Copies of this chain bind each other. A is one copy, B any other.
Amino acid sequence: MEEHLQEIYKKLHDRDYKITPQRRVILKAFLNNAREHLSAEEVYNIVKDQYPDIGLATVYRTLDLLVDLDVLQRINFGDGRARYELGHRDEHHHHHLICVNCGRVEEFDHDLLEFLELLVTEKTGFRITDHQLKFYGYCRRCRETPQEAE
């Protein structure tokens, strides 16, 4: 994790972006909440503890930058705001299981979509660089206690 951080700093440095305390705390928020899917506002709230003067606009600008640098991935779960997660550096893809009842998002690792990419390219001429797969349904918890919703 510490090495991941250094790696990202290097990426910033290589492209002549400055390493500011604001960018540092935002990055740390993601490293400390690795398997969360944070929204801009959530990042803002986490980060305000360590850096109370930070502005929400800075958070948005930093998130955009990190998406540009492929450090973060932007995802939309249909709840009206963008969410962000640390990018898959390796080619290991994971997919999202979105509970339509409680809204919780789980993850599921699986690499076996490459064959489909090949098929798509062959049939359409579309050169694929990434994919995003979401499953909608009912998570185990909601199946067991159907009354709960959040």
Stretch of A21-29, A48-56, A116-124 with 4 or more beta carbons under 8 angstroms from chain B: A116-124
Partner of A143, one of B97, B127, B136, B137: B127
Judged by DSSP, the binding face of A is strand
- A97-B126, A131-B133, A131-B136 given. 20 additional CB < 8 A pairs? A74-B78, A76-B78, A97-B128, A99-B126, A108-B120, A108-B123, A110-B116, A117-B135, A124-B140, A125-B140, A126-B135, A126-B139, A126-B140, A127-B137, A128-B135, A128-B137, A129-B137, A129-B138, A131-B135, A132-B133
A138 proximity list for chain B (CB < 8 A): 126-127, 129
A134 at the B interface (CB under 8 A):
yes
Q: Which residues of B contact A128 (CB under 8 A)?
A: 97, 135-137
